[in-house]
Amino acid sequence: MSAKFGTILLLLLIKTMSLHGKDNKYNATYSDDLKNKFGCTPPENWNIVKRNEEAIQVVCRAKDYDPHDKPVDLTKSPMIIDFEKIKIVDVDERKRTITMDTTLTSFWRDERIKAVFSGNIGVMQFPPLTTGQKTNTWSPYQQAIIKNLKERTYILSPVIWQYGLLSSNFPNFVYAQDAFPPNASVVWSQINWRVTVSCSFNLSDYPFDANRCFLEMQFPLNLNVSLHGNASHSMNYDANGFSITLQPNDPHTIHFPSLAMHLTTISFGIELKRQPSKYVFQYYLPGITIVIASGFSFIIPVSAIPGRIALVVTQFLTLTNIFIHQEVFCYENIDYSANFE
């Protein structure tokens, strides 16, 4: 459902943006009429931040709105998070890290923002936030903390995150229509991260080992988080020589009375089970074959010098070939950049 929703959302965004054109300049009287007409009352408490006369779309934001201040009560309606994609792109056992790509699409309600949509156009997009810009809309990800984080980059750099408004009555927003009040304005955002986190690998059973790591995101907020789409069930796939299972954990919030704060945690268990087939074919079977072949040297008579020499030379060349193959593999995977830091 999440992939279908993302596609429909993108198409509608393109259609909406094509209808917008350039905003016309309105006089103060007409602006007040818009505020009254679309429910932004009393007019002196709201500013119009976006309007489109053709599509009859108006966005009002409270005059005292501060993007660094959280909404008054985040527990009135849930924050819906859909991990549309979590893909392991690299497992580095030497550095003990895991690198993954993830696309987060989130929805929450901010009562300091009101919007009205006309017809079937129930979604709009604001200009994306890019590197170096200051955000003008509050987002919980401004305070997000990823445990054991080594590196985080933005896949769509310089775009940091894309966001806009969505009507709770939007037909394709079915899994959230019961979560938000009718005709409510819902803030949506999408972030594309490439995240590298540390993981303690236990290689005592190599190459038949299985390791469990975690992707844990924490918010110093009291959020009523609900997971949907791919985030609500386990995912299984094969990559990088591992059988990977992503198991979501139920979001939970911890209250610290002494610090007068809450901590909401979202986490995924990442199980990495090594696929031993390549090790069996590259190392175990050749090793077993060499040992068995060497046993024939006891059957060959001592006087059969050519036969014994041929057997020993063949075994030596086979071992040499395995050794060279392993050296080339190690050479190709050395990170030389570490020597220049």
pLDDT per residue over 206-265, tens digit each? 888 899 998 899 998 888 888 876 555 677 778 778 888 888 888 888 988 888 888 999
**pLDDT, mean of residues 92-120:** 85
Instruction: Count H helices and E strands in the chain, helices first.
Output: 5, 17
Query: Does the pLDDT of residue 202 top 50, yes or no?
Result: yes
pLDDT for 14 equals: 37
Q: Of 86 and 33, which is predicted with more confidence?
A: 86
- In this prediction, residues 263-286 reach a mean pLDDT of 87
Within 8 A by CB and 6+ apart from 22, the residues are none
8 A C-beta contact, residue 285 and residue 279: no
**Pairing of β 79-92 and β 97-109:** antiparallel
Mean pLDDT confidence for 27-34: 51
**Is this structure's pTM higher than 0.95?**
no
Average pLDDT for residues 280-291, to the nearest whole number?
Answer: 84
Average pLDDT, the chain: 78
Task: Examine the pLDDT at 5 and tell me if it is beyond 60.
Answer: no
| pLDDT computed for residue 58 by the predictor | 80
What are the structural domain ranges in the chain? 2-274, 284-332
CB-based contacts of 198-205 (< 8 A; 24+ apart in sequence): 198/96, 198/97, 198/148, 198/150, 199/96, 199/97, 199/98, 199/148, 199/270, 200/96, 201/93, 201/96, 203/93
Q: What is the CA radius of gyration of the chain?
A: 29
Whether the per-residue pLDDT at 152 is higher than 60: the answer is yes
Q: What is the CATH number of domain 2-274?
A: 2.70.170.10
Q: Hey, which of 44-48, 99-103, 114-118, 297-301 has the most confident mean pLDDT?
A: 99-103
Residue 287 binned pLDDT confidence (cut-offs 50, 70, 90): confident
Residue 159: the pLDDT is: 92
pLDDT band at 153 (very low <50, low <70, confident <90, very high): very high
Contact between 83 and 102 under an 8 Å Cβ cutoff? The reply is: yes
- Residue 81's φ and ψ, nearest 5 degrees, are -120, 130
Among 14-18, 211-215, 226-230, 293-297, name the most confident range: 211-215
Q: Is the pLDDT of residue 32 over 80?
A: no
Q: How many CB atoms lie within 10 A of CB 271?
A: 16
